[in-house]
Amino acid sequence: MREYTQVYLHDYCNMNLNKLALILSLTTTLLACNDDQENLPGPTSDSINYSIEGKWTYKDNQLNTMYIYEDGTRYTYYCTSDNCDSLYNTYEANDGNHLPSTHPYTVNGDTLIVDLHHDNELVATLTFECDGDKVQLGSANSYHLYRLGSNCP
Tens digit of each residue's pLDDT (9 = 90 or more) over 113-137 = 999 999 999 999 999 999 999 999 9
For residue 30, what is the enclosing H or E element?
Answer: helix 2-32
- Three-class DSSP category at 39: helix
**What confidence score (pLDDT) does residue 80 get?**
87
pLDDT of residue 115: 97
Tell me, what's the pLDDT at 16?
Answer: 53
Q: Which parts of the chain are beta strand (E)?
A: 54-57, 65-70, 73-78, 103-108, 111-117, 120-129, 134-138, 143-147
The Cβ of residue 112 has, within 10 Å, a number of other Cβ atoms equal to 22
**Domain extent for 9:** 2-36
Cα 151 from Cα 143, distance rounded (Å): 17
pTM, two decimals, is 0.67
32 and 74 fall within a common domain: no
- For the chain, how many structural domains are there in total? 2
Does any domain span residue 75?
yes
Cα–chain center distance at 92: 24
Q: Does the structure show a pLDDT above 90 at 45?
A: no
Q: Please tell me whether residues 58 and 17 are part of one structural domain.
A: no
Instruction: Give domain status of residue 12, yes or no.
Output: yes
